[in-house]
Amino acid sequence: MATKLKPVDIAIVGLGWAGGILAKELASTGLKIVAFERGGPRATNPDFMAPQVHDELRYSRRHELIQNLRKETLTFRNDPSQRALPMRQLGSFLPGEGVGGAGTHWSGLHWRWTEWEHKMYSGTVAKYGKSIIPADMNLQDFPVDYHELEPYYDKFEKVCGTSGKAGNLQGKKIEGGNIFEAPRASEFPNPPLTQSHNMVLFEKAARNLGYHPFPVPASNASRPYTNPDGVALGQCHYCGMCTAYGCEANAKASPHFTVIPLAYKNPNFEARTNAYVMKVNLDSRRKRAVSVTYLDAGGREFEQPADLVILAAYVFGNVHLMLHSKIGKPYDFKRNTGVVGRNYSYQSMGGVGALFPKGTYFNPFMGSGALGTWIDDFNSDNPDFAKVGFIGGGGISSGSNSGAPIARHPVPPGSPRWGAGWKKAVVETYHRMTAVGNQGSVMSYRQNYLDLDPTYTDSFGRPMLRLTFDWQENEFRQMEYARGICASIAKEMGAEQVLSRRERGRYSIVPYQTTHNTGGTVFGDDPRTSAVNKYLQCWDVSNVFVVGSSVFPQNAGRNPTGPVGALAYRLADTLKDQYLKRPERLVTV
């Protein structure tokens, strides 16, 4: 039996970037706010102190900062004809857990999405007509355009101390920055990070081939920096331990030391950690949320009444809570109707390995999470979709992220995997191998979706979320096209051997690929194809809002954190300026 608690004004589920930004920004309302975080408390000191935080086994292999599957996981299958089975071990993606969420262990690639990436449907139709869109592709627009989000993108970069170089300042194209980016009001708060050897080679090769290389926007601070909130970020050490790790220097922007401590300063804010939200409870008419039910670390059940509920969990948590709480119509793939679970998408990570002549030293251990040189010449809507035969694109880059040797001890294909021959190959290869990668967009399809599993339950007894996903022809074509470009750049860089796999295998949940899952609670203007409206408000239950990459209708060829932060800042303004003044439906149809 749940213990019923004293009502609060706002309940926030999840305390990563999205929940942290809202917790901090809503302080000025004076309202009573409680945030629920399924993991424990996290602070740079003591949780991310050197030297212990530089432990590859603990963080990168044993996933200290990642979701504990013993408590909750999902089931997976490639297509609806299969039986889904539980993801029993972590692999393909690594959702965060604990205060700061995935913001503690992200790499720091901090993008603004392009104008087309906010309007993929209408932008594509305007150029190529409707007939270019495959029948099973649920291509949709963001219901807001880039220009509406620009001030929020700008704000989020300044909070994070993003290091980069503008390529389009108020419409003026600037060489050396990304000339394909949408116009920005201001320059990045910090200059670009220092390039590694492979990046210098990549930049030169890309220019020789007529492309437009630029430094990846990195929320790894290139110099000591104090953000507009007065929070100090340290200078990046290039220690090569960002992705999967916390940062002891506070050089990698993370909500746990930026926005969240500012939320804590608000006497009306409280965070409850190790608290698993089970369900959002609705009134008898199912038009209003009245409370959330959660379990504390000891498994005791509590009911927290709240006037407003903000779902700011990871993609899977948001969708799971919506389905389990019966908010919004669940997606039915057979009829392509319903909205919750619709348009799940992902991202492809491909490209080529590049082995350079003996005597080349890339020093892969000198690096930073987002340290890379990139081209957008084949990303966004820059490819001619009619000519290349696919919709979308990919960011092509070379970077220096980590040389930690459990994960990174490459050998050329054909080498033995073990034994004396393997050892010789490892020693000969470690310093002279680099990569030219493609980060490919992935469109949404009717047959790729999330729903509740009929068989498996999590440790709390709830039906698990079921993921149905596979690569589609459009994405295979993008990967193959980009692989050719990557190979030509690697050759131009001077690679002795370009290592490439040409496989069209099914998507597998086993190897790590990327934690850029999107969709399932898509935002839009049409309640038949979106779970939340343009203000991120649930169509059916007007006092529940959803924020995070679960609202993206499909995925671009770049990282999602920039728009996640921008949308969280915009939601804070929506709530402060509109909803809290008149708590009702913000869009009527």
Instruction: Give min distance, CB of 546 to another protein, in A.
Output: 26
Residues 6+ apart with CB under 8 A from 252: 106, 108, 219, 220, 221, 236, 242, 369
- Tell me the C-alpha to C-alpha distance, in Å, between residue 557 and each of 173, 349, 375, 377, 527: 21, 9, 11, 12, 27
Stretch that binds another protein, among 62-70, 300-308, 326-334, 551-559 (CB under 8 A): 62-70
200 contributes a contact to another protein by CB under 8 A? yes
* Residues 362-421 interacting with another protein (rule: CB under 8 A): 362-363, 365-367, 400, 403-406, 409, 417-420
To another protein, the closest distance from the beta carbon of 51 in angstroms equals 4
Q: Kindly tell me which of 129 and 405 has the beta carbon lying closer to another protein.
A: 405
Give 486's strand partners. none
Residues numbered 553 to 582 that lie near another protein (CB under 8 A) are none
> Which two tokens mark 104?
């503690």
* Minimum distance of another protein from residue 545's CB (angstroms): 30
Catalytic: 516? yes
Output phi, psi for 355, to 5 deg: -100, 125
Is residue 105 part of the contact set for another protein (CB under 8 A)?
no
Check 110, 118, 320, 516 and give the catalytic one: 516
Among 43, 77, 477, 480, binds another protein (CB under 8 A): 77
Subset of residues 311 to 370 that bind another protein, contact rule: CB under 8 A? 360-363, 365-367
Smallest distance from the beta carbon of 19 to another protein, in angstroms?
Answer: 23
- Measured CA to CA, the distance from residue 16 to residue 94 in angstroms comes to 14
Of 106, 180, 430, 449, the one binding another protein (CB under 8 A) is 430
- In angstroms, what CA-CA distances link 391 with 122, 341, 346, 530? 13, 22, 15, 21
| Contacting another protein within 456-475 (CB under 8 A) | 456-457, 459
- By CB under 8 A, tell whether 45 contacts another protein: no
Q: Which of residues 233-292 bind another protein (CB under 8 A)?
A: 235-241
297 binds another protein (CB under 8 A): no
* Joined tokens for residue 10: 């706002």
Q: Torsion angle of alpha carbons 109, 97, 143, 9, nearest 10°?
A: -130
CB of 422 to another protein, least distance (A): 8
- Residue placing its CB nearer to another protein in the complex, 251 or 289: 251
User: In 3-state terms, what secondary structure has residue 141?
Assistant: coil
Assess whether the previous peptide bond of 46 is cis (omega < 30° from 0).
yes
Q: Which is nearer to another protein, 1 or 406 (CB)?
A: 406
Closest distance to another protein from the beta carbon of 400 (Å): 8
Residue 16: both structure tokens together: 């990563």
Instruction: Output the CA angle 347-195-114, nearest 5 degrees.
Output: 40
List the structure tokens of 531. Answer: 């779970």
x-marked contacts with another protein along 157-196 as a string, rule CB under 8 A: -------------------------------------xxx
| Three-state DSSP class for residue 521 | coil
The answer to whether the beta carbons of residues 139 and 385 sit under 8 Å apart is no
Q: 455, 460, 484, 528: which one contacts another protein (CB under 8 A)?
A: 455
How many amino acids of this chain bind another protein (CB under 8 A)? 72
Asked whether the beta carbons of 573 and 567 are under 8 A apart, the reply is no
**What is the set of active-site residues?**
516
